[in-house]
Amino acid sequence: MRVDDIEVEVHRKRIRHLYLRVGPPDGRLRVSAPLRIGDDSIRQAVANRMPWVRRQQERQRQRERESARVFASGEHHFVEGIACVLHVTTHEGPPHIGLMGDSTLEMRVRPGTGRDERADLLAAWYRERLKTSIPRLITAWEPFMGVSVKEWRIRKMRTRWGSCSVRNGRIWLSLELAKKPMRCLEYVVVHEMAHLIEPSHNRRFWGILDRYMPDWRMRRDELNRFPIMEGKD
């Protein structure tokens, strides 16, 4: 659906009210609408909020962006919120990535390893770090929140930090979260787990976050302030 020059992503749900969200990292407008509301009513609701939508999208555009990566020595890559300097060396052994000290990311690759292969190597390393962090967070929060995550997965996500399938008890988390501070990852995990209690972004949902993570707004704002990666991952 389009309203003026803006593409609108519409999700119809069993909810009572209509909700608009301009989300990171690309400022996409998403509308959650009750099943009974028609397209014309959705367009009118978006048109009525258009000044707000444009302000939010402008804020997204003004956020700092990382330059396109070539995965060469001297680049900065975020690891858990810290901008680490990449140091690339070549050797004949298997490829390897590791942190050296607090702010150096050491990458060892075979001679002739191209940009895409280096990108894949770093993405795999990020994924392994999340595979260590995420289950610890879920295990810590499950008894506190009284929910059970049946399954969790990591995927590349361009338009959101996470998602939840209430029916399956499954949560999806963005690979990009490996670059963010641990407290931001924890916020997204708790946010998605809260959907197992309340599927919609309604007053009850935000109340659940207030109860279990009173500083969630600060964590969300910090998450959305971090640079967005441009170019191919």
| β-strands 28-34, 19-23 pairing | antiparallel
Least confident span in 65-74, 126-135, 176-185: 65-74
Question: Averaged over 99-128, what is the pLDDT?
Answer: 94
Residue 226 clears pLDDT 80, i.e. is over it: no
Nearest alpha-carbon partner for 185 in 195, 194, 196, 174: 174
Whether the CB-CB separation of 76 and 85 falls below 8 Å is answered with yes
**Tokens representing residue 82 in the block:** 């810290």
- In angstroms, rounded to a whole number, what is the distance separating the alpha carbons of residues 33 and 44? 12
User: What pLDDT is attached to residue 87?
Assistant: 96
Q: Count up the domains in the chain and report the number.
A: 2
Residue 71 lies in a domain: no
Q: Of the ranges 35-44, 86-95, 170-179, 223-232, which one carries the lowest mean pLDDT score? A: 223-232
**200: CATH:** 3.30.2010.10
Tokens of 93: 């052994």
Q: Which pLDDT tens digit goes with each residue over 13-60?
A: 888 889 998 876 567 888 999 998 999 999 999 999 999 888 888 777
Residue that is last in its domain, among 18, 40, 62 = 62
Percent of the chain exceeding pLDDT 70 equals 91
Token pair recorded at residue 134: 């995420």
Q: Is the pLDDT of residue 196 over 90?
A: yes
Q: Is the pLDDT of residue 190 over 90?
A: yes
Within a domain: 57: yes
What is the arithmetic mean of pLDDT over 57-69?
66
Whether residue 76 lies inside any domain: the answer is no
For residue 175, give its domain range. Answer: 114-229
What is the mean predicted confidence (pLDDT) over 185-196? 97
Domain-embedded: residue 95? no
Q: What is the pLDDT of residue 77?
A: 92
**Most confident range, picked from 50-64, 89-103, 134-148:** 134-148
Q: Are 3 and 47 in contact (CB under 8 A)?
A: yes
Does residue 5 surpass a pLDDT of 90? no
20 contacts 45 by C-beta, under 8 angstroms: yes
pTM of the model: 0.73
pLDDT of residue 66: 56
CA dist list (Å): 18 to 26, 167, 230: 21, 22, 32
Give the H/E segment covering residue 79. strand 76-79
Diameter over CA atoms, the chain: 63
Q: Are 188 and 173 in contact (CB under 8 A)?
A: yes
Structural domain includes residue 52: yes
Per the prediction, the chain carries an average pLDDT of 89
What's the N-to-C CA distance of the chain in angstroms? 28
The answer to whether position 72 is within a domain reads no
- Are residues 127 and 51 located together in one domain of the fold? no
Q: What is the DSSP letter of 179?
A: G
Percent of the chain, pLDDT > 90?
Answer: 65
